């Protein structure tokens, strides 16, 4: 039986059409995907991200422990600050992408769906004498994201507070009588984002308050369009344990001044003395068909990459995709073809993001 979100019944009452992805039942759309997209671009929408994993790290050495392992500067984070980071293997390949939040008495690492327990296991392998404890807290918190230009203002109306403009900064507040943590998002949708972290038992009241205040429910179909338009890599699709960190956009994931971390030697060597053989780029396709994930990309009669994510862009009114392509064909404007069904469809390599 597929896993359901805590707010499944509310999504159903709002008219959601569901689909099962990786044994998780997700609200794809609420009847009008284009209207949901417009709300996120022009006003404010709300999306349920509660299948994302949550890892709790406590103990006096929690910051220094994570700092020694992750690609970004965790040790310097004060309470209420945060950062995006990656846990790599010794070869510089991505084991997991994280959003790290420093709270008053602990740190939270938000992971992709299904990665909470795996992340605890991966981090625990490096835990020796440090005073730190790891726990998979997935499911204890509901993770709701306000998306759109009006998201910060709506968060302030709801909670009487808003996080700073710095990505992954956070602040405590209260919505509908429930204690919440308001977190400035990292822009994976290409829009302003405010996450609302709340105990799962209080999530319904917070959702209702946000919708009553004007946030339109946003399904996975519209959110996927926003994500691909923004050029945001999704773990398990555009990046996984076969991908080197420098092959994807990594500016927000890496500190080049923090010192050693797992995989750092490879990342620095590529930056200073070499290059990667492939990079994540956008593809703008001709025609009305959207390619499948894994569809081969060709140039000069040879395969030079593969599609990792694809969608119909509601903003550009075109078929677009993300793909890892060979470096020599990665220049924006390069003509390529993509195998869609049984035909090669013309496409053009583009820089990311597609839309700003």
List, in order of start, the domains of the chain with CATH numbers. Answer: 3-50+139-229 (3.30.1360.120), 277-356 (2.40.30.110)
**Quick one: pLDDT at residue 1?**
81
**Quick one: pLDDT at residue 273?**
86
Residue 230: count of CB within 10 angstroms of its CB: 17
* pTM (two decimals): 0.96
- 144-178 pLDDT, tens digit per residue, is 999 999 999 999 999 999 899 999 999 999 999 99
Confidence check: pLDDT of 356 > 80: no
Task: Please enumerate, as own/partner, the contacts of 235-240 that have beta carbons within 8 Å and a separation of 24 or more.
Answer: 235/94, 235/96, 235/97, 235/112, 235/115, 236/112, 237/293, 237/308, 237/309, 238/280, 238/308, 238/309, 238/322, 238/324, 239/94, 239/97, 239/280, 240/94
Which DSSP state fits 82? E
Structure tokens at 290: 């959207």
d(CA 211, CA 136): 30
- 91-147 pLDDT, tens digit per residue, is 999 999 999 999 999 999 999 999 999 999 999 999 999 999 999 999 999 999 999
Mean pLDDT computed over every residue of the chain? 97
| DSSP per-residue letters across 257-315 | SS---TTHHHHHHHHHH---SEEEEEEEESSSPPPPTT-EEEETTEEEEEEEEEEEETT
d(CA 179, CA 322): 38
């Amino acid at each position: 039986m597929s896993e359901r979100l805590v707010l499944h019944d509310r999504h159903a009452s709002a008219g959601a059409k569901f689909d099962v992805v990786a044994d998780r039942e997700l609200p794809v759309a609420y009847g009008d995907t284009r209207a949901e997209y417009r709300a996120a671009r022009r006003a404010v929408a709300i999306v349920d991200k509660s299948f994302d994993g949550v890892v709790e790290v406590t103990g006096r050495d929690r910051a220094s422990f994570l700092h020694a392992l992750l690609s970004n500067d965790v040790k310097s984070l004060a309470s209420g600050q945060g950062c995006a980071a990656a846990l790599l293997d010794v070869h510089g390949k991505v084991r997991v992408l994280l959003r790290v939040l420093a709270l008053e008495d602990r740190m939270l690492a938000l992971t992709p769906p299904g990665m909470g327990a795996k992340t605890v296991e991966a981090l625990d392998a490096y835990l020796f004498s440090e005073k730190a404890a790891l726990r998979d807290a997935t499911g204890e918190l509901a993770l709701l994201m306000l998306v759109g230009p009006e998201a910060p203002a709506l968060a302030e109306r709801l909670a009487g507070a808003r996080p700073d403009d710095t990505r992954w900064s956070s602040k405590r507040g209260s919505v509908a009588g429930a204690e919440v943590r308001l977190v400035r998002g990292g822009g994976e949708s290409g829009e302003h984002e405010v996450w609302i972290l709340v105990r799962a038992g209080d999530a319904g009241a917070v959702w209702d308050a946000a919708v009553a205040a004007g946030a339109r429910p946003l399904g996975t179909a519209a959110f996927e369009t926003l994500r691909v338009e923004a050029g945001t890599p999704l773990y398990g699709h555009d990046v996984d344990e076969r991908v080197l960190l420098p092959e994807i956009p990594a500016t927000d994931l890496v500190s080049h001044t923090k010192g050693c971390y797992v995989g750092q030697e490879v990342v620095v060597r590529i930056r200073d003395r070499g290059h990667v053989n492939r990079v994540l780029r956008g593809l703008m396709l001709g025609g009305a068909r959207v390619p499948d994930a894994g569809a081969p990309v060709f140039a000069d009669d040879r395969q030079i990459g593969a599609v990792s994510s694809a969608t119909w862009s509601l903003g550009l009114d075109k078929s677009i995709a993300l793909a890892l392509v060979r470096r020599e064909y990665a220049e924006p404007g390069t003509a390529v073809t993509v195998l869609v069904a049984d035909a090669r469809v013309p496409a053009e390599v583009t820089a990311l993001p597609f839309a700003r």
